Structure 1
């Protein structure tokens, strides 16, 4: 919906009541209404997506019909002869677009979870059409004038708090996307958006191509150092790819990371490392450097039409940071301590390598391998030993336990087959209130990596909570890329992957806990919405979770207290690596968008910028520029990747509120405030004010520095 984000697909249905809206849509599409993807959801739980019946051949027609309906409805809102009011303008925008909204749920599955060459071809054809569609709405002058009239009236006579928030968010969204431009500039604005939409699509497809096509196959004599579980999984993946007797290391983080940590084959580590960090940077038809240069030029030109000096200034105006300078100041405050810690970590690793007689200088493909050896030496902590206690099924139970203690939620498995899913790996749970039994929604989990699924981990919703036209339940989804175990084996994950699992579940809890009335208020401020999920990571290391859910995958024995003590003692280990690889990407994102993009050479800019930053040569950015999908496959994180660090300041400070409470991380009073102020309001109140309501003050950076074991400056 346009009220959520103009840069996402925007949809409207214009008639005055929900009932008449539905009737109009049916009448408009009588001859084409058989397309499944446009249909209202039926079945249990107030209707669910027909994932089991969706077909990629239906997507193009459904999208085109949906856009056609929406544009006609937009005109009805814009040309309503009645004087503009909240109800006949803003409220109608809020309840609009059910058909196209439903199509986008299927489109998202095809794009992220079940991509194929056939879909990518369709996606490429739709990208410019979607851009045109968005521009026709965001540049609809009569519509904007009605919105502006409601906004200006609300500045004189404020509406109810939630209505006022919606009006201001929607108006700001239109304004930021060129609604005040003259006709000539609007035309150019639309042309730029259309060009960018195709570039974003090409960028994503290039990265996915390199992830799917760069696979390292090992022989049996090249497995030294790897765990039995990893070897069995690699054999299964190779067999599925037609390489029986081989062992496949795929070009994804979930496969690359453990290989680099444990393999003793240094040349193979280099090959796997190079494949992963060269995605989009192989000087071939799937190279992204020229695409990035063009994206930067077009973004700068577009915001220049509205009078902004650079893209970052435009983007950050409605974020918590407000300005690029504020975001940079935070990163600059942490960067020196991070790279200083890297120097210490490298010195430890080099000393260990020397003592082993390895006769090498630490290179990026060595960092994880020797860091693990140092971890064992310093803390007597073996990551693979820890992994034996991190079973995916048990971690899922731990998520449910945490949600029950903090949010009073109960998760009950849904009988297989009763709710449609798009792949056999997907499981579904019903979410209810533990006390009242009231239904809240469904939670879908798609945990495993596979061909056609984008890398990483993410959360999304198929339906969000509102009470606008009657209360709606929530359909939320978590998606991961764990490597599927061999048949009969438990799925074991690293501590970092377990942390990410909790992180993404934090997003789902944010969805489930919503108490907002209007759909727009389910949106969020990017450098704030990561905060809730980062905070939930802290519950993985609580005694209650560790003692109940971390059990050995073979013996069932609980994790020994001595091993837990080692984990906690080593909690700030390797923080130089983790902080530096992330911050380098965040700083690069900002510097790219502050630079003059005229004649920019991306490879040179990346290399020279890292040199100016004194980036340690022993590790790369987490996301090198040619595969930085957060920033160049769309605009959600562009000049906003710093937001994870901003959110981490809030996270560390909020975590200390629990540490200081009598009941620790399960303190009932603090948990109630957590839900009331930090989760349930979503975007219905200013994020800074929400944090102050929870903490009693603004967040301070000192807690973050303490968490990472960095020195805290004396005041």
Structure 2
């Protein structure tokens, strides 16, 4: 029996074999299509329950199976899984189109939509109906048959290209390693970094030390390695992923994705892909996004230029560097930061043992939202490094399961993310609780040291845990409105707001303890962390804005057919934000997974957009105390638990009592004076 086709609550990872996926997905698609057919061909009058709710509940088994499959394709993949992904992605694209292009089904949805004023729907029901109706009209329901066929072809091609893009980036990441045999080339590197590199070399049966493009290896090397030539070698390797003359080149893939997205948008009646995407977001239009980004650019660029000039002068005085390059930024930035604030990341790391930081996140969630996390072996995990937790509330009621997966592996893509294996929803009066996962890539423990995090990794963990809380505390009726199923430019609020606790003395006291002595982090270090929080904030802001502008250039272009050279187009898009000299061998677009593989196309601006929200929200907490239960409850009840049941601005205003003020972000970033 195929374990994926049996009824299961938690994902049965230990029973699943790779060969189970294809037949299970095929059967689940057939079953879901039967459910859709039953709804669309029903003889009774369309109602909210028999049409809208029935459609939301359809395909439950398919959702569960595909969430398992695609989550593992990101966190624990291999060639066989990637091959299956390439085969089934067009199936799933076709299935999605079988729903949105089903004329009989749309007719029933439209019938309910047309009488919505008479139905006395509550806010959540009205939002579900609105979302479903739009999902049809925005995905071709009103098209002629020939145009529907064209749309199906475009979607099948896009599904294939997106997978191909991600496979190429992962292959390029895994293909490169820097093998060092001369110990003098390790000058400047911390002991923990050297030990991890030695361990990696031993695993590969090599002498010396091995460094890779995985973040826990790459970032410390770029930050501390004194050998400028080797930093350059690493930086060039990192920057040319998907931009080399080999089978993993992504230039044509990028152009094809952009052109197909544009064709799709035009087919549906939109000027560009950005117009299509943003119609359904808080920002609403590309013009508003560009205005938002350019307004921040005007405020950030002078500060960024001053910081860059200062760093350039510093590197010249220190080492005679006449032209600061991209492979110099992190290295001299760390030295300058240490000099200005007497703050050494290596001095901080012993206070940020991974297990302690995670427990700190749990404790903060306990104080704010009365949650408790306990390790459980009640459910399977997909790898020995993954830990499962049962989440309970004050009354010991089950709230959720949480999977935590923290270290790099060859089959795991770079970066950090939160995802779900089971959505929260209420069916037949039963509140089905969610199964949430956070995945990161932090330094592994070595023979002599546990996993010790940089402060940046601490904020990354809190960021993903903030997303997890959005999923864990979900409390809506319908799965398609649950948890993180919100506008893309609202989804980063819960994650980014939680990062703020990492800078607060009261929060750090809970978990920042020396891994050997148990001594709490000295308050002078906390003061330095806070004081240095805005170090190079102008340059960091400019960097984020450059990514957002690149994204909008790709997806807001009126005629992408005219784009022939990916590198040249990217260079032009970066022109207003460029500080470092361009590197001919490197291209960001060919490895920009957020927009070409993930869901951030025409949406990368949302990180900055959400920063405005999170700065304003945290200012509210600070006014009354960062663990104030009343404000935390308002945030939980109006943001975390509500998912996409109402328009995001309405939810935010109910929490905050007003619309967000961007001054809070600018003050926090030190880009304007605090009043």
Partner of 1:147: 109
- Tell me: CA distance 1:713–1:139, structure 2 relative to 1, closer, same or farther (3 Å): farther
Q: Aligned with 1:471: secondary structure?
A: strand
Partner of 1:560: 522
Partner of 2:242: 280
Return 153-162 or 183-192, whichever deviates more.
Answer: 153-162
Structure 2 portions without partners, runs of 5+: none
Residue 98 in structure 1 maps to residue 60 in structure 2: yes
Does the 8 A contact of 2:567 with 2:587 survive in 1? no
Of residues 562, 577, 595, the one that matches 1:599 is 562
Please report how far the alpha carbon of residue 712 of structure 1 lies from its aligned counterpart in structure 2 after TM superposition. Answer: 5.8
Of residues 359, 363, 368, the one that matches 2:325 is 363
Q: Aligned with 1:546: secondary structure?
A: helix
Considering only aligned residues, what root-mean-square deviation do their CA atoms show, in Å? 1.8
Per-residue deviation, residues 210-249 of structure 1 (Å, max 9, x unmatched): 1111111222332111111111111112222332x23221
Does the 8 A contact of 1:331 with 1:587 survive in 2? yes
Q: Distance in 2 between matches of 1:304 and 1:605?
A: 21
Residue 468 in structure 1 maps to residue 427 in structure 2: yes
Please report how far the alpha carbon of residue 618 of structure 1 lies from its aligned counterpart in structure 2 after TM superposition. Answer: 5.5
Residue 648 in structure 1 maps to residue 626 in structure 2: no
Residue 38 in structure 1 maps to residue 36 in structure 2: no
TM-score, normalised with respect to structure 1 = 0.91
Residue 55 in structure 1 maps to residue 17 in structure 2: yes
Please report how far the alpha carbon of residue 690 of structure 1 lies from its aligned counterpart in structure 2 after TM superposition. Answer: 0.7
Q: 1:338-357 to 2 correspondence within 5 Å?
A: 338-357=300-319
Structure 1 portions without partners, runs of 5+: 1-33, 42-46
Partner of 1:325: 287
Partner of 2:220: 258
Does the 8 A contact of 1:348 with 1:374 survive in 2? no
Partner of 1:571: 533
Partner of 1:431: 391
- Tell me: CA distance 1:54–1:278, structure 2 relative to 1, closer, same or farther (3 Å): same
Per-residue deviation, residues 602-637 of structure 1 (Å, max 9, x unmatched): 1110112222x1411268999921111111115x21
Partner of 2:592: 628
Q: Distance in 2 between matches of 1:285 and 1:157?
A: 56
Q: Aligned with 1:529: secondary structure?
A: coil
Q: Aligned with 2:401: secondary structure?
A: strand
Does the 8 A contact of 2:40 with 2:108 survive in 1? yes
- Tell me: CA distance 1:525–1:35, structure 2 relative to 1, closer, same or farther (3 Å): same
Q: Distance in 2 between matches of 1:387 and 1:706?
A: 28
Please report how far the alpha carbon of residue 130 of structure 1 lies from its aligned counterpart in structure 2 after TM superposition. Answer: 1.9
Q: Aligned with 1:118: secondary structure?
A: helix
- Tell me: CA distance 1:57–1:241, structure 2 relative to 1, closer, same or farther (3 Å): farther
Please report how far the alpha carbon of residue 687 of structure 1 lies from its aligned counterpart in structure 2 after TM superposition. Answer: 0.4
Q: Distance in 2 between matches of 1:375 and 1:270?
A: 21
Size of the alignment, in residue pairs? 668
Residue 489 in structure 1 maps to residue 453 in structure 2: no
Partner of 1:3: none
Q: Aligned with 1:482: secondary structure?
A: coil
Per-residue deviation, residues 163-183 of structure 1 (Å, max 9, x unmatched): 111111111111111111111
Q: Distance in 2 between matches of 1:129 and 1:520?
A: 21
Q: Distance in 1 between matches of 2:82 and 2:325?
A: 37
Residue 692 in structure 1 maps to residue 656 in structure 2: no
Residue 227 in structure 1 maps to residue 186 in structure 2: no
Partner of 1:29: none
Return 616-625 or 370-379, whichever deviates more.
Answer: 616-625
TM-score, normalised with respect to structure 2 = 0.96
Q: Distance in 2 between matches of 1:152 and 1:254?
A: 54
Does the 8 A contact of 1:503 with 1:533 survive in 2? yes
Partner of 1:28: none
Q: Distance in 1 between matches of 2:551 and 2:266?
A: 19
Please report how far the alpha carbon of residue 639 of structure 1 lies from its aligned counterpart in structure 2 after TM superposition. Answer: 0.2
Q: 1:216-615 to 2 correspondence within 5 Å?
A: 216-219=178-181, 220-243=183-206, 245-415=207-377, 418-434=378-394, 436-469=395-428, 470-522=430-482, 523-595=485-557, 596-600=559-563, 601-611=565-575, 613-615=576-578
Q: Distance in 1 between matches of 2:311 and 2:650?
A: 45
- Tell me: CA distance 1:713–1:473, structure 2 relative to 1, closer, same or farther (3 Å): closer
- Tell me: CA distance 1:620–1:476, structure 2 relative to 1, closer, same or farther (3 Å): farther
Does the 8 A contact of 1:345 with 1:371 survive in 2? no
Partner of 1:666: 627
Q: Distance in 2 between matches of 1:66 and 1:102?
A: 10
Please report how far the alpha carbon of residue 156 of structure 1 lies from its aligned counterpart in structure 2 after TM superposition. Answer: 4.3
Q: Distance in 2 between matches of 1:609 and 1:384?
A: 36
- Tell me: CA distance 1:305–1:688, structure 2 relative to 1, closer, same or farther (3 Å): same
Q: Aligned with 1:467: secondary structure?
A: strand
Does the 8 A contact of 2:419 with 2:438 survive in 1? yes
Partner of 1:162: 124
Does the 8 A contact of 2:240 with 2:587 survive in 1? no
Q: Distance in 2 between matches of 1:696 and 1:279?
A: 46
Q: Distance in 2 between matches of 1:672 and 1:146?
A: 39
Q: Distance in 1 between matches of 2:108 and 2:334?
A: 61
Does the 8 A contact of 2:36 with 2:58 survive in 1? no
Does the 8 A contact of 1:321 with 1:327 survive in 2? yes
Please report how far the alpha carbon of residue 37 of structure 1 lies from its aligned counterpart in structure 2 after TM superposition. Answer: 1.6
- Tell me: CA distance 1:184–1:713, structure 2 relative to 1, closer, same or farther (3 Å): farther
Q: Distance in 2 between matches of 1:366 and 1:383?
A: 17
Partner of 1:21: none
Q: Distance in 2 between matches of 1:401 and 1:620?
A: 45
Q: Distance in 2 between matches of 1:667 and 1:368?
A: 37
Q: Distance in 1 between matches of 2:486 and 2:321?
A: 51
Q: Distance in 2 between matches of 1:569 and 1:659?
A: 17
Per-residue deviation, residues 351-405 of structure 1 (Å, max 9, x unmatched): 2223224344211000000001111111111122112211101101111111001
Q: Distance in 2 between matches of 1:488 and 1:422?
A: 27
Partner of 1:179: 141
Does the 8 A contact of 1:224 with 1:264 survive in 2? yes
Per-residue deviation, residues 652-683 of structure 1 (Å, max 9, x unmatched): 1111111112xx11112211111111111111
Q: Distance in 2 between matches of 1:101 and 1:151?
A: 25
Q: Aligned with 2:626: secondary structure?
A: helix
Return 445-454 or 234-243, whichever deviates more.
Answer: 234-243
Q: Aligned with 2:351: secondary structure?
A: coil
Residue 657 in structure 1 maps to residue 620 in structure 2: yes
Return 66-75 or 582-591, whichever deviates more.
Answer: 66-75
Does the 8 A contact of 1:446 with 1:478 survive in 2? yes
Partner of 1:13: none
Q: Distance in 2 between matches of 1:118 and 1:537?
A: 37
Return 577-586 or 180-189, whichever deviates more.
Answer: 577-586
